[in-house]
Amino acid sequence: MKKNYRFSIVFSFLGLWITTLFPEDFELFLGFFLIFTFGMIHGSNDMLIVNKLTNLKKTSFIKTLATYLLVVSIAVLIFYWLPSIALILFVCFSAYHFGEQHWEESLESITNTSKRLYFFAYGLFVLFMVFYFNEASVKMIVNEISGMTLNQLYTEHVLITLGVFMLSFLAVMLRQKEIKLNTVITELFTLLVLVIIFKSSSLIWGFTIYFIIWHSIPSLLEQIRFAYGSLDRKNIINYTKAALPYWLVSLVGMTLLYFVFKDEKHFYSLFFAFIAAVTFPHSIVMLKMFTKKSKHF
């Protein structure tokens, strides 16, 4: 069992233990703190990855940065003017990004389109597990963001459909010897752990445990290896230094967004709008990174 996996399991149950010690208000505070630190840092260094992908010169870097900021700004505006569409796009982009990050290494040798569909299905499955155990909170947030009142999320139907597709895909991969049985068993156990966490935690805290421990930290480690060639203390420090300015800019941007729109939007609306705005370009950059890695496989 890999060290990263052991770390994720141990800290997931540590997060679950926290729910028995502290009230939900503390979980909410700690959840947002972790998202605004580890969560935002893992998506703050996209320009470093872009530079590694393309070897940008100064003028190209400025042009790319301007394009990146334009995409973020457009995403914020879409959330402001077309929140329902933005919310759907956010869920779709996040689902693919989560699945890709989690499964890319295990499915690195597979090049067909079904792998991409599996990434999306897996990420969507995780998100709908969160929705299933927190339907009331999810409906409230959707209403705050889009103004829509949802009577049904159909989470059970979606989970069953996605589950059948995922099991079928894994069965075919096992038969073709593209994936090991130990990997499948490990991943099924991971989903069981996530079920326990989502069932026992509040919406924000359950999502935080998944987002930070199972997504952001593994993504950070992957980005450091890609950018610097290896994972050691020096490269971790270099990555953190490179990410720090972008992280601070992100915090300032979130703060400005809050003060500009606080009278028109609820905090959840502003929070998810900003996270989504950063997620759109970040997921594209990560797709490019994994694509380049797979070409060198």
pLDDT for 121-159, tens place per residue?
A: 999 999 999 999 999 989 988 888 877 888 888 999 999
Q: Enter the pTM of the model.
A: 0.89
Establish how many alpha carbons lie within 13 A of residue 178's alpha carbon, considering only the half-sphere containing its beta carbon.
18
242: pLDDT strictly greater than 70:
yes
CA-to-CA separations, 251 to 2, 82, 192, 226, 265, in angstroms, rounded: 33, 24, 34, 25, 18
Judge whether residue 54 has pLDDT over 70: yes
Neighbour tally for 226: CB within 10 Å: 17
- pLDDT greater at residue 39 or residue 263: 39
Predicted pLDDT of residue 149: 86
CA dihedral sign of residues 53, 55, 60, 61: positive
Residue 6 has pLDDT above 60, yes or no: yes
pLDDT of residue 3 exceeding 80, the answer is: no
Q: For residue 266, what pLDDT band results from cuts at 50, 70 and 90?
A: low
pLDDT 10s digits, 81-95 = 888 888 898 899 999
